[in-house]
């Protein structure tokens, strides 16, 4: 009788554990696909010694896929995948400035700019209220790779489209590029640029 009682007590203790473990395992291995839509955009803001300028791509020309994996903890989100941007798509709203930017970025030799998404420090509840997160990306310009931390704001609208807005300052010199000059050096583009992107994403579980 004593052994029977001990066995029943064992079952009561073990049963909840065996019920919880599969759920935790499923959570830590949850995977999603994020489909980056064609109406995503990217903007580069810079300045010269005489004025400011903006070069943008208002419509992404393709769809790309990012894979989202839960890491070892709730505070670690691992991303894989990248977006590729055609340098020729940049429009600086000034013919000379547009040509200068494309030439500086070595468009003929390296026609694409690549942004590989590596991680997020957290994936908050996706609501209409934007929440701040940070993440790591690898940016390739003119054949040179640099890794950066990016600050994002992430939200989801009523159509369940995820909006990922990111901002990062970079320099031409980070990629061994020389900021363009004009009129014998009288107009000098500053080295520092602000890169802002707005990714519109659909999430798919798989």
What would the pLDDT profile of 126-142 be if each residue is shown by its tens digit?
A: 899 999 999 999 999 99
CATH number assigned to the domain comprising residue 55: 2.40.128.110
22 occurs within a structural domain: no
11 occurs within a structural domain: no
What tens digit of pLDDT does each residue of 20-56 get? 333 332 344 567 899 998 888 999 999 988 889 999 9
Range of the domain at 95: 29-205
Q: What is the DSSP letter of 126?
A: -
Q: From CA 201, how far away is CA 64, in angstroms rounded?
A: 10
CA angle 161, 117, 33 (to 5 degrees): 45
3 occurs within a structural domain: no
Give every CB contact of residue 1 below 8 A, 6+ residues apart in sequence.
none
200 occurs within a structural domain: yes
What tens digit of pLDDT does each residue of 160-174 get? 999 999 999 999 999
Q: Is the pLDDT of residue 89 over 50?
A: yes
What does the pLDDT read at residue 153? 94
Q: Is the pLDDT of residue 185 over 80?
A: no
178 occurs within a structural domain: yes
174 occurs within a structural domain: yes
Task: Detail the DSSP E strand segments found in 7-141.
Answer: 31-36, 41-47, 52-57, 64-70, 77-80, 82-86, 112-120, 131-141
What is the four-CA torsion angle of 15, 20, 23, 29, rounded to 10 degrees? -110
Mean of the per-residue pLDDT values of the chain:
82
Give, for 153, the enclosing helix (H) or strand (E): strand 144-156
Between 168 and 8, the more confident residue is 168
17 occurs within a structural domain: no
Q: Which residues pair with 201 in a beta bridge?
A: 36, 162
- Structural domains of the chain, count: 1
User: Is there a contact between 9 and 152 (Cβ–Cβ < 8 Å)?
Assistant: no
Q: Is the pLDDT of residue 183 over 90?
A: no
Secondary structure class of 6 (helix, strand, coil): helix
CB burial readout 70-109, b (16+ within 10 A) else e: beeeeeebebebbbebebebbebeeeebbebbbebbbbee
4 occurs within a structural domain: no
User: Is there a contact between 101 and 93 (Cβ–Cβ < 8 Å)?
Assistant: no
Mean pLDDT of 184-203: 88
Q: Is the pTM here over 0.85, yes or no?
A: no
């Amino acid at each position: 009788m004593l052994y029977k009682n001990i066995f029943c007590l064992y079952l009561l203790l073990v049963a909840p554990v065996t019920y919880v473990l599969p759920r935790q395992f499923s959570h830590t291995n949850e995977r999603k696909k994020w489909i980056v839509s064609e109406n995503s955009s990217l903007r580069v803001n810079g300045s010269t010694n005489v004025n400011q300028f903006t070069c943008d791509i208002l419509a992404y020309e393709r769809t790309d896929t990012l894979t989202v994996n839960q890491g070892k903890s709730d505070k670690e989100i691992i991303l894989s995948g990248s977006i590729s941007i055609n340098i020729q798509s940049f429009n600086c709203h000034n013919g000379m400035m547009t040509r200068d930017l494309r030439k500086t970025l070595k468009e003929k030799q390296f026609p694409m700019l690549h942004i590989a998404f590596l991680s997020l420090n957290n994936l908050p509840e996706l609501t209409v209220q934007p929440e701040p997160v940070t993440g790591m990306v690898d940016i390739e310009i003119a054949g040179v790779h640099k890794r950066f931390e990016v600050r994002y704001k992430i939200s989801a609208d009523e159509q369940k489209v995820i909006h990922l807005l990111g901002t990062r300052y970079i320099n031409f010199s980070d990629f061994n590029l020389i900021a363009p000059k004009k009129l014998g050096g009288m107009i000098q583009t500053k080295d520092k640029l602000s890169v802002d992107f707005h990714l519109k994403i659909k999430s798919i579980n798989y």
